Amino acid sequence: MTTGNRRNGPTDCPAGTVLSLYELPVGKSATVHSIQARGLTRRRMLDLGLVPGTRVEALRVSPAGDPRAYRIRGTVIAFRKEEARQIQISF
């Protein structure tokens, strides 16, 4: 746990904080905590290697803000907002 002043943004989160992948700032990394997606979307995420414990790095945001690119297991994968919000990450 950190002490002192702390901003409320995801760039300054203490260890153990859980956010959606969509909230991960570009240039930051986190670990997949859980996948909330169901059905074919969940299957696709699992097939891409996105399982709890996987490290993910936010790389880019498209000019329109959606989709966003992430590095997952050495591969660059883009997720739209509605998909990225179903992936829970922790620091």
Residue-wise pLDDT tens digits, 19-70:
999 999 999 999 999 999 999 999 999 999 999 999 999 999 999 989 999 9
Average pLDDT, integer, range 66-83 = 96
3 or 76, higher pLDDT: 76
d(CA 20, CA 83): 10
